[in-house]
Amino acid sequence: MSGSLWLRPPGASSGTLPAVPRPRTGDDPGPAADPLDELAARLGVFIAAAVHPDEIAAVLESDGMNDEYIRLTYGRQDSFALAEELYARVPRSFPEPGPAADPWKVSLSACLLRGVIFALPGLAYLLGAPLLEGPQDRLGLPAGTLTLLAGALIGWVWDQTLSHRAYSWLGLGDRAAAGRTLLVGAPAGALLGTAAALTVPGGPPFSYAFAAGQACYVGAATVLLVLGRERVLLAALAPMAAGAVLVLLVDLPVPLRVALLLVSLLAACALAVRELPVADGVRATAARIRGLTARRPGRGPVRWRMLRGAEEEYAVRGPRLGDSVPFGVFGLGTGLLVLYAALGEVLAGGPAEAVAAPSAVALTLSMGPAEWLLHRFRSGTLSGLRGARSPRAFRRRMLRTLARCLTLYLAVLLALGLTGTLLWPGAPGLTGVRVATLLLLGAVMWSGLLLQSFGAVRPAAVVCASAAVAQSLALLTGIGQPRVVQLAVAGTAAAALAVLVCLFLGRATAHR
C-alpha cells in the first residue's frame, strides 16, 4: 500500500526511451487544469460523507497513494495535507442509509397460532365436566376448581422459569444443552404440579387425575413450544378440541370423553419425548455420576494448589440458575392477577355466577397478538434509531410507537372480551368497571412482557408480584369491594410499569 506506484510497464527495458509527445487532436480535451479536481470528482462520494479529514486520508492511503506520489502528482506534502484540502473543497453531504433488513419482523400467523395454542387446553374442561361434578367447595366454586387451579398455577410458574433457561441455552447456540434442560425440567414440573394439586383436600377423585394429566401436558407443551414445534402441538390437541366442539352439539358418553382427553395427552407427551435427547441425557447423567465419584485434583493425601486453568474444568458454564427465577416470579404475579380477574368476586364471598371466565380467556388468547406487537415495537424503535437526529427526537418516536402498539393490543383485548362475554352462557356482563379492570390488566401484562423482552424482568416481576400480594391481602382481610380493589391494584401496577417503561426504554442505548 505504501510502495511506489511509478512502475515500469511489463516487458520494458532500462534502455527504452520515452515516447515523443504528439500534437493533440480536437477530440482530446487534455488533462485537467488541476489533478485535484479529477481526484475530487472520483472520490466525491467518500469525501462528502466524511466527518473528518482523517477519514479521507485513510481512503487515499488505501487507494495506494504514498507521500512521494502525492508530492509528484498533486503538489501537496503528504496524504493529510491533501485530505484537508479535499475536505475543504467538497461540501458535506450525508446520504440517507438504504433500506435495511428488519431483524424483528415475524409472521402474524405464527404469533396468532401460539395464542390459540395457549387457549385450546381450556376446552379440556368441557370434556371432563361430567367427571368433575359434585358439591361446591367452601368458597362456592364448582367441585375440583381449587385442585385444578393449584396445579395449573404451580405449573405456570415452573413453565416460565424452565422456558427462560432453555431459551438461554438456545441463545448461546447450544441446542443440546437446551434439550437436556427440558429433559430434566419438564418431568420435574409435572411432578410439582401434581403434588400441588394433591395438597388441596376435598376435591372429586377424578379432579386429581385430571390435575396430573394437566401437569404432564404443561411439561410436554413447554418442550414443544420452546423448540418451535407449535404446529405439532396443535395436531396433538386436535382430538380434544374436536371433542369439545361436539360436546356443544351432542352429549358424548363419558368413556369417549376420557378417550379423547387421553389421546391428546399421550400424543403431546410422545411428541415431546421424540424432540428430547433422551439417549444423550442418559449418557450425560451417567458421565456426571462417574465424574462425581472420580478423584479430582487436590483430593489425595497431598493437597496441591492448582492453577486457575485446571479448576476451570469443573466450573459451571452457561446461564445462571438465578437469572431464571425472576421469570418465574413474573409468571406467578401475572397468573394470580388473571386468576383474581376471573374469580375475585367469588373468592371474596360473591355468588358463583360472578365468575368472569371470558376475561381470563380473552387475556390468554391475546398473548398471540401481544407477542406480534412486541416485535412491531422493536421494529419501530429500530427505525427510530436510524431516523432520529437527537435523543429527544428518538424519545418522541419511541413514545409514539409505544402508544400505537399498546392501543392496538388493548383494542384486540377488548374485542376478545366482548366476544367471549356474548358467547359464554351465563357470563356476567361487561360493566364499565369490568372493562376498565380488563384493559388495565392487559396494560400490566403487555408492559411487563415489554420490559422482560429488554432484559428488565426484575422490576417487572417486583411490580406484578407486589400487585398480586396486595390483592391477596385485600381478599384475606376483606378490605374494600372486590371490583374496586381489582381496579385500584391494576391501575397502580399499570402506572408503575408505565414509569418503568419510560425510564428504561427512553434511552437509545437500551434499543441496540
Note down pLDDT in tens along the chain; length 512 residues: 443 333 334 444 444 444 434 444 545 555 545 788 888 888 888 888 888 889 888 888 888 888 888 888 888 888 898 889 888 888 887 666 666 677 788 888 888 898 899 888 888 888 888 887 767 666 667 777 888 888 888 988 999 999 999 999 998 888 888 888 999 999 999 999 999 999 888 778 888 899 999 999 999 999 999 998 999 999 999 999 999 889 888 888 989 999 999 999 999 999 999 998 887 767 776 777 776 665 555 444 444 444 444 444 444 467 888 889 999 999 999 989 988 887 766 665 555 555 567 888 888 889 999 999 999 999 888 888 877 778 888 889 999 999 999 999 999 999 998 988 888 777 777 788 889 999 999 999 999 999 999 989 999 999 999 999 998 898 888 887 888 888 999 999 999 999 999 998 888 888 77
Contact 369, 115 (CB under 8 A): yes
Q: For 376-385, b where at least 16 C-beta lie within 10 A, e where not — what string?
A: bbbbbbbebe
What pLDDT was estimated at residue 17?
41
What residues contact 499, with CB distance under 8 A and at least 6 apart?
Answer: none
Q: Which residue's entry shows cell 492453577?
A: 307
- The CA-atom distances, in angstroms, between 445 and each of 401, 442, 464 are 18, 5, 8
Distances (CA, A) of 404 to 374, 376, 380, 451: 11, 10, 10, 17
Q: How far apart are the first and last CA of the chain?
A: 36
Contact in structure between 298 and 304 (CB atoms under 8 Å): yes
Cell reading at 195: 403434588
Long-range contacts of 478-486 (CB under 8 A, 24+ apart): 478/348, 482/344, 482/345, 482/347, 482/348, 482/350, 483/344, 483/345, 483/433, 483/434, 483/437, 484/433, 485/344, 486/340, 486/341, 486/344, 486/437
What pLDDT is recorded for position 484?
87
- The C-alpha angle with vertex 246 and arms to 243 and 248, in degrees rounded to 5, equals 120
Among the listed residues 30, 38, 45, 49, the one whose alpha carbon sits nearest the alpha carbon of residue 82? 38
Q: Nearest-CA neighbor of 153 among 192, 206, 209, 205?
A: 192
How high is the pLDDT of residue 20? 39
Q: Would you state the pLDDT for residue 445? A: 94
Question: Among all chains, which residue has been given the C-alpha cell 385444578?
Answer: 148
In this structure, what C-alpha cell is assigned to residue 255? Answer: 368413556
The set of residues, in sequence order, having a beta carbon less than 8 Å from that of 252 and lying 6+ positions away, is 127, 243, 246
Q: At a CB cut-off of 8 Å and minimum separation 6, what does 424 contact?
A: 357, 358, 361
Give the per-residue pLDDT at 346: 65
User: Residue 353 has which C-alpha cell?
Assistant: 355466577
Maximum distance among all alpha carbons in the chain? Answer: 116
